[in-house]
Amino acid sequence: MNLPVILNYTLFGGTTMSLLGGVEGLAWVKSQYANQVDDWPDIQLHFGSGSEISDDGTAVRFAHGFTDDVWEQYYKPILNKDSWTIFPLFLRPRSRGNIRLNSKDPYDKPLINPNYFKDPYDLKITIEAVKISIALSKTEALKKMGSRLYDKPFPGCEGFQLWTDDYWGCWIKRSSFTLAHTVGTCKMGPDNDPTAVVDPQLRLRGIKNLRIADTSIMPSVPSGNTNAPTIMVGEKASDLIKQTWL
């Protein structure tokens, strides 16, 4: 994000500013811990041609929730350098968060507890995903770019030996975010499930003429991005509503 890039985009188009969200590559991988019989992978990798420093700290670092201290200590020293990132994701996490009312006031902000990595298995697979990402960075194809792993210890993890599982576990816990793939606050399920908020017709239990059609109705995170499944839910909801009124 600099003046030459902006001018080239304005005059000629087709430059890096024409990218769709900055994520050019995706991979789905089975880790060594995955059940090889299952027909779904347990790791997803997002490849982005940039990082928190690509916009000089104006937006991305806030979207990813990094504090000023982390920005100053970790990211600012490499400002104005070219960078690329692999975001390693563990699919189908076992840990479950919760959302609760803070008070009787409907305008009061709710209490949200993501509960990341409460189940140790989630952290174990994410560490494996990090190792796979680093191995990819050492392939001939990516070494042609002359890039290397940024090896400054992450703030708060200086007490761990670099590149060990304990270090990666610390780094993961201090730098993780949902990538906007949040689900499950209005779970869909059968009538005999007391935790199901909506029925299989997407109707909110206890309230007439109200349906929910977004990622909140998914009982768990699908193995991949939630955009396409959400569009599918919306299309299905429109069919259900039309059937009702016919």
Provide the annotated active-site residues: 181
Q: Report the amino acid identity of residue 193.
A: D
Tokens of 220: 């768990």
Among candidates 217, 230, 165, which has minimal Cα distance to 188? Answer: 217
- Residue 173 CA to residue 95 CA, distance in Å, equals 13
